[in-house]
Structures are given as structure tokens and as C-alpha cells.
Amino acid sequence: MESLTLSDVEQKYYSELFLSCDVDNTKKVASNGKVLDLFRAAQLSNEVVHQITELCGATRLGHFGRSQFYIALKLIALAQSGLPLRVESLNSVRDLPLPRFVMGKNEQETRHAVMFADTENQGPYFPRPPGRVQAKKVSAHEMIQPCVPTVDPQPDTTSPVVSPHQSPPTSPHAWRKHKRQASGGNVDRQPSVPGVVWPPFREAQPGPVTGDGMWSAHSPPPVQESWVSFTDTPPSSTLPMHPPSAQPESTTVRTVPSAMTTNEIQRQISGYDDPWKITDEQRQYYINQFKTIQADLTGLIPGSAAKEFFTKSKLPILELSHIWELSDFDKDGALTLDEFCAAFHLVVARKNGYDLPEKLPESLMPKLIDLDDSAGVPEPATEVDFSASPVEVTPNKSPSMPSLNQNWSELNQSNEQWETFSERSSSSQTLTQFDSNIAPADPDTAIVHPVPIRMTPSKIHMQEMELKRTGSDHTHPTSPLMANPPELSDETKLAATIKFPGTTVGDGYSSSDSFTSDQEPISSAVNRQRSHSGTSPEGLKVVAPPPPPPRPHASHSRSSSLDMNRNFAAVPAGPQQPGVVAFPPAVPPRPLPTQTSVPHGHRSVEGDGLPAHTSTSPHQMPEQPNFADFSQFQAFAVDQPADDGENTSDSGQAERCAETTGTMKTAKNDIQSEERNATTVNSAKVSTPLAPPPKPVRRRLKSEDELRPDVEDLPQKSNVIATVLATQPSIPRSIGKDKKAIQASIRRNKETNTVLARLNSELQQQLKDLLEERISLEVQLEQLRPFSHL
Amino acid sequence: MNCPLYIRSVPTQGELKFHYTVHTSLDVVEEKISGVGKALADQRELYLGLLYPTEDYKVYGYVTNSKVKFVIVVDSSNTSLRDNEIRSMFRKLHNSFTDVMCNPFYNPGDPIQSKAFDSIVSTMMVQAC
């Protein structure tokens, strides 16, 4: 190293500076960070600083040894004097003023006592202790000259170099006094001292004791220099943040920060790389502040409280907003302790004039492990109370950083995954994408219940799919059924289950095998209801009003009177047993009158049946009582095919819910009854053999059974019975579920009612016919016996 | 009520035209969201899809549950943008928007000045173009 001759003053000064920078006390290195900050505080351009660094050999060495440091300082002085930087001039220039370092000022510097812990040897050139300790509010001084401002009145302090030799003794005293705070003498001088940044901290208390300690360990000058560096920027607000937040507390708190700052300053040079690190003291301060808002350190500060708190810092809302964005790591609208510390740190930095970073610095990222303490100094410059903590690269930081980074990257990764997922899902052509969680973020993670969908084009399925959709359908597989949703969309939106079945029922009648979804019970139940109602109230597009589901229309397959069924069954089975057809109820046959009243047949089925019946064969006479049955025979004869179909479907349906087919049958029954009427008229004229009737009769008989369950005792015919039994049991068995059973029974009863009502009407008509016949007969008799009562 | 909270266009020279387009598309958006009388809102509703293709650009709409409307105008010649991509763009926008909302310093109704939001929008626009 070039030999360097320093004057005494310089020597002292430089040594102090070096000590301040040499946090590690290695006597050889002041890490680049602090040194660079210091150099910047010299208000030299960066190139000059680099040049100086190179010249002094630090670049070569990678660090600043003492000699390098001294050289650098000297070069700084040279530069500041406007002299060209040359190594030769190091020793050649005499009377070089001491390098000047700027320090910001602060009204509250007075409080900043601690900084000047050790003043004894400090040359007067030390920059004014940042903390103007005592309550002396020093007016902001831009420059803290190495000179002894204490001596000079404040305005003069700007004459930096000049006063190096002035009142050297004073400064130490001043410092000491500053340090002690209480010293009034210093106080006097204090004012003259350029403000120090940290006034706020330095509440006149011994709070900074720690700082004191530290400072005593290190020469104030270095401290001050760092202070200086911090206070480059306009001193204006001293901790605007803090003042608002309870002055008294801020005072105490400030002391901590001030202590921190000194510490940080010392570490600053070492931690230069990471200006955003938070020192212990700072963190402690932040934690204390956190406690004022939220006692639980593991808890969260709500956004509104944080807003109020940080608004006190008087930063523009836009910047606060930006700070919030940076610091609210998990985007939850609340601040954890880490987030709060980061935000606070950013506010401090901003108040010190540091620009807010675009992205959260790694050191500020919320850490799982709290209290990582690395002093971070954003950049030399502001006076803020908090001293942008001097940067210090602590080894323990590094491990945490990578972990943080990993977390961050993982988080990003997960976000990416979310994105991809959402894209993936959106690519599936689902009609509905339920964004169940709109709020934060991921719109497409709605849970989808896999619902089995029967991929048949049945409308019932479509309806069921609609049901599922409303339920929570996310990845609704495309299917041909989806083509329908638009039509059903309206219905879907409404009380789904109820509606659907309605339409389903209407549409589903065409396909009887539709209930395979889990909606089945509901829809079937509703179907039943619907069938009872016979209409789809909401005006759904029901193809056909679901006819009541009674299976065999009027067959009342589930009817109680097994006998009747048996009888009826037997009837068709054994057409050769006309007598067999014994019809259950023993309505006294009235063949004669009925025969004559053939023409009235079409009034009622039974009526038709009667005449036809009577006319057909005498053996049917005994069946007269069951004329209804016969008429039903006739009717059945006509409707046989349909009835057959109903029968089969009925039995088939028996196995299943049976509603649809039942309703179908019912519908058909209704329709067929009319047909029957018409046909029976025709058939009445014809002597219909019993052959056709048997099958229809079975049906009809069954209905008759139900119609007159109580009335009749059916003469048993094995065949009939067998057939009837065959069909009968199947039906009740099919309905296993209670609800369905109830519904079915309700339906049955209703069917029974209707059938009975119809039968009643028919009987009434027959009665009328008979009466007419009787009247006519009497008239004839009268005519035949004209003279009977002569 | 219908003042834009944020508007950004990539070729900034035609910005005014885009302003106008977006404003007119608001009518279409209103019409779409008023037609749906459902109580439940789902993603399907939020994404309104192509509002209308006009001249040489297409307009896509998206509305949030709080009736904040996002409108994207893309060049018709940009056929590479599929519906999914538009959806994902809207999703990102929505997420960023909720982040902005979470910021207690943001007053709803103010223009959005969040840098994070800006950066996301820029990224998206770069991707799309």
C-alpha cells in the first residue's frame, strides 16, 4: 500500500471512521457495504467512489483494510476538495481538509444522544452525532461536518472542512454529553450541531443504553458518518410515523431504533449488499409497535388497523398502497408479524428517501423464523428515525433466504398450477363452471361430485344432468344430453329436483328405463306427485301429462283383493271356462234387461258390456252380475293389445319404480276407456267370444277387483287366479321404498277411486236403462192386457 | 358508476378508440348480466364470452360478483387467442383485482394505481400480442 502520511487529526478521524466501519473488529476490514455507504455520504459521484476504491486497493483486496480505508478517506478528501484523484497526491497534498460526510438532519436529533457515546478521542471532525440527544431540537442541518459543529453555530456548520481544528475538544465533550444526554453543556452545543437523523430515537433516555454501549465501543464518528449517510435526504419528517403513534411510546421506542441505528451503521458497511435487512433493534421496535396494535404476536393485524397506523407516517396513499402490496405476502388483507415488520421497514425506508422496490426484497419476505436479524440499510440516505438499518449480512440469513425463496417459488409454482388447472378445466367444454371461490383466486377449483350420468339420450337423463349441474357441476362431461340443457335451463335454475322430475316425467314416459341416477328416488317421487297432479305446474315442457301410475289401469295390480285378481286372471286364462269367470262380485245378473238395452251400450262401458254380454251367450249370464266385467271384456277385447302391452309393461315395471309405466298405463287407460266405449258399442253388437275378453278381462277384472274389492267374492278359478297372482305380487314387490310405496298406494287409491266412480256412473246408467225397460215392459203389459182392469 | 377503474392498451396510439369501444361494450355487458335472474353466480356467468365482434376486433366481457366489469378487446387478426386463454386472462385479472381490493389503502372506486396490477396486465398483454 502506498505509504500514507496522515496528520494527527486525520489519523484520529480516520481511525474513528475505520472503527465505525469495522464492526467485526477485525482491524482489517470494513466490509464494503458500510464503507460504500460512507463514501456515498461523502457526496461523491459513484464513479469517483469506484475510482477511490480502486485506487486504495480495496478492489484488489476485496475489502478495506485499514490502510486502504485510510487511503480511501484521503482520496475522498481530495475529491471533495476538487483535486484530482491520484495516489501521488495522497501524500503530497497538505492541509487537505478532512473528508466530509453528509448527514441528514432531523428536528429530533436532540434526542439522539446515544450516538455519541464515545467522544473522548473523537476529533472534532466527527460529524455531529446524529442524535442530538437532548431535547434540543436542532434545526435541521444539512451537513454534518467533521468539524465540530458544537463549536460553531449551526449555520456555520456548513463550513465543513474549515473547522477541523476548531474546538476539537468540544466535540468529544459534546459527544460524551450527547451520549449522556443529560449534559446541558452539550445541549448548548447541540443546537449547533447539524441535526442528526436519529433524534427521534434518542429520546433522551438511556434507552439507547444498548446503543450507548455500542457506541462507546465504537467511535461516534463512524456512527455519525453513517448517520450522515442516512440523512442525505431532506430531513423533513422525522419519523412521521412514529410521532403520530403515541409520542410517549415513540420516545421509548425511538431509543431502540436509535440504538439500532448506530449498530446498524456500524454494520452497515458490512451488510451493504442487502440494504433491506432488518436489524435486531429495528425488529424489536417493529415488534413493539406490532404489539400496540395486536397483542398477540402470532396474530394478524387487520387491514384497517394497519392502514391507520401507516397513514400516520404521512406517506402518500399511493406509496402506502404499494408498500402494502409488497408486504402483504399472503394477500389476505391482514399483516402478520413478519409482514408488519416488512411494511414498517419499507415505510421507514421510504421516509428516508429510499425508493420502494418493485418487488419485496428477500430479506423482508415473511419468514417463518422470526427475528432474523440482519441490519439492512436500504441506501444511504435518509434521516429517518429508523436509520435504514445498516446492512449486515449475517450468515444465518442466507439459509433462511433460500428457504424463503423456495417458498416463494413454490408459491408461484402453486399459482402456476392453479393457473394451469383452471385453464385445463376451462378447456373442457363444460357448460357450467362453478366458480365456487371467487374471492381469492382460484376460480376453478370447485369440487365436483362425480355424478354418474347415464349417457342415454333419454330426456329424463337430461333432466337429471340438469339436476347435477345445479348441484355443483364443474366438469360436466359433454354428452348428447347437454344439448338439451338450454331448454331446460330455466327449469334447472328453479327448484331443481322438483322441476326436473316434472319435465322428466313428461319426457320420460317415452323411455321407461330412465331412472338410473341418484336422482331417481326424488324424481320418481316427484313423478308420482306429478302424475297425480296430472300436470306439470310450472308449465314445463311435459310431453304428456303423467297419467296416474296405477299400473294396470284399473287392474289395481296392487289391489288388496287377491281373489278378484285371481278371478280375473283366471278368466282370461280360461276362456273355456266361461263360468269360471266368475266374477268376483255377485251382482245378480240381469241379462234380460241388459239385453234389451243394448242400444244404450255406449253410454257406459258396462252398459255396453251388459247387452253384449247377454246377447252373446247364455253362459255369460251368470256373469251378468259382473256385467261390468264383461263390458270390460268387450272393452278389453278391443283394447286387448293395449292392455297386453300394459300388462307386460306393468309387470316389467313392477320390477322398477314403475311410475312411468304406471302412469303410462294410466294414461293409456284413460285413453282406452274412451276407445273402449266406442268399441264396446261395436263389439256389443257382435257376439264377442270370450276369447278376446280373457286377456282384457283379466285387466278389467282386476280393475273390477279394485272397484269392488269389498263387494264381491270371486269364484275362484285357478287359471285366472294364477295369472292374476302372477301379475299381482310382482307389482307390490317392486315398490320397496317407503316413499314409493306410499306414493304408489296413494296412486292406487286414487285409481281405485276413479274406477269406482266410473263404475258407479255406469251402474247408474244401467239402472236408468233398467228402469226404462221396466217402464216399457209395463207399458207393453198394459197394452197386452188392455182389458185386465176393465 | 361506469367510470373505468383501469384502462390500458398496448398500441397506445389508438387508445381513445379503445376507450370508446369499451364504453359501448358496457351496454352489452349490462344486457347480458341483467338477463340472468339467477341467484347463484358461477364462473359461467362471470365470463361473458365474446360480446360482439366488430370491425376488426373482438370484445370479450367478464363480470365479477360485485358487478365490476372487465372488458378485453383483441384484434380480430389475432386468431391465436382461444377462448380458454381469454378465460385465463380474465381469471388473472380477477385475481389481481382482488389483490388490489385487499389493500386497505385502496378505496373502491378509485382508479387502480397498483404496480402489481400493472405488471400483471403488462405481462398478459405481452403474452397476447
ipTM: 0.79
Is B103 in CB contact (< 8 Å) with chain A?
Answer: yes
Instruction: Name the residue of chain B whose CA is nearest to A329's CA.
Output: B99
Question: Residue A566 has what pLDDT?
Answer: 54
Question: Residue A777 has what pLDDT?
Answer: 93
Q: How far apart are CA A751 and CA A731, in angstroms?
A: 15
Say which of B43, B83, B85 has its CB closest to residue A443: B43
For helices A627-655 and A694-707, angle between their N-to-C axes, nearest 10 degrees = 90
Averages of pLDDT over each 10 residues, chain A, 790 residues: 64 78 60 68 76 71 72 77 70 65 46 39 41 40 41 41 43 42 41 40 40 41 39 40 42 45 46 66 85 81 83 82 80 82 84 79 65 41 41 42 47 47 46 48 57 60 57 45 44 43 43 44 45 45 55 51 52 46 50 47 44 44 48 48 46 46 47 47 44 47 48 47 48 66 93 94 94 93 74
- Min Cα–Cα distance to chain B from A414, Å: 14
Q: How far apart are CA A499 and CA A541, in angstroms?
A: 11
Say how many domains are in chain B: 1
Let me know how long chain A is.
790
Residue B42 and residue A433: Cβ atoms within 8 Å?
yes
Residue B95 within any structural domain of the chain: yes
Say which of A325, A331, A435 has its CB closest to residue B42: A435
Residue A426 and residue B88: Cβ atoms within 8 Å?
yes
Question: Residue A602 has what pLDDT?
Answer: 45
Q: Which residues are CB-neighbours of A395 under 8 A, at least 6 positions away?
A: none
Kindly report the backbone phi and psi dihedral angles of residue A71, in degrees, each rounded to the nearest multiple of 5, phi listed first: -60, -45
Residue A331 and residue B113: Cβ atoms within 8 Å?
no
Question: Residue A451 has what pLDDT?
Answer: 66
Question: Residue A282 has what pLDDT?
Answer: 83
Q: How far apart are CA A723 and CA A512, in angstroms?
A: 24
Contacts of B95 in chain A (CB under 8 A): 440-442
Question: Residue A372 has what pLDDT?
Answer: 44
Instruction: Name the residue of chain A whose CA is nearest to B35's CA.
Output: A490
Q: Is the domain A280-352 a CATH 1.10.238.10 member?
A: yes
Contacts of B68 in chain A (CB under 8 A): none
- Looking at per-residue pLDDT, the higher value among A455 and B42 belongs to A455
Domain residues for B57? 15-124
Please, where in chain A does CATH 1.10.238.10 lie?
A: 8-114, 280-352
- Min Cα–Cα distance to chain A from B105, Å: 5
Is B42 in CB contact (< 8 Å) with chain A?
Answer: yes
- Min Cα–Cα distance to chain B from A432, Å: 5
Is A355 in CB contact (< 8 Å) with chain B?
Answer: no
Q: Which residues are CB-neighbours of A142 under 8 A, at least 6 positions away?
A: A102, A104, A105, A158, A194, A235
Contacts of A419 in chain B (CB under 8 A): 88, 91-92
pLDDT exceeds 70 at position B88? yes
Residue B84 and residue A328: Cβ atoms within 8 Å?
no
End-to-end CA gap in chain A: 171
Q: How much helix, strand and coil, in percent to the nearest 5, is found in chain A? A: 60, 0, 40
Residue B8 within any structural domain of the chain: no
Residue B84 and residue A419: Cβ atoms within 8 Å?
no
Q: Which residues are CB-neighbours of A701 under 8 A, at least 6 positions away?
A: A555, A564, A565, A567, A568, A569, A571, A572, A581, A583, A584, A629, A632, A720, A724
Contacts of B64 in chain A (CB under 8 A): 438
Kindly report the backbone phi and psi dihedral angles of residue A30, in degrees, each rounded to the nearest multiple of 5, phi listed first: -115, 120
We report the CATH number of the domain holding residue B49 as: 3.30.450.70
The secondary structure element, H or E, covering residue B59 is strand B57-63
Residue B105 within any structural domain of the chain: yes
Contacts of A312 in chain B (CB under 8 A): none
Question: Residue A753 has what pLDDT?
Answer: 94
For A45, the grid coordinates are 459521484
Q: What is A8-114's CATH number?
A: 1.10.238.10
Best A426, A447, A466, A474 residue to mutate vs chain B (most B CBs within 10 Å) = A426
Amino acid sitting at position A71: I
Residue B85 within any structural domain of the chain: yes
- Min Cα–Cα distance to chain A from B118, Å: 11
Question: Residue B36 has what pLDDT?
Answer: 60
- Looking at per-residue pLDDT, the higher value among A254 and B93 belongs to B93
Say which of A317, A328, A435 has its CB closest to residue B43: A435
Residue B65 within any structural domain of the chain: yes
Instruction: Name the residue of chain A whose CA is nearest to B116's CA.
Output: A325
Torsion region of A556: left, alpha or beta (phi above 0 gives left; psi -120 to 50 gives alpha): left
Torsion of CA A103, A131, A356, B110, to 10 degrees: -120
Residue B9 within any structural domain of the chain: no
Q: Quick check: A701 and A567 in contact, CB under 8 A?
A: yes
Instruction: Name the residue of chain B whose CA is nearest to A317's CA.
Output: B105
Residue B2 within any structural domain of the chain: no
Amino acid sitting at position A149: P
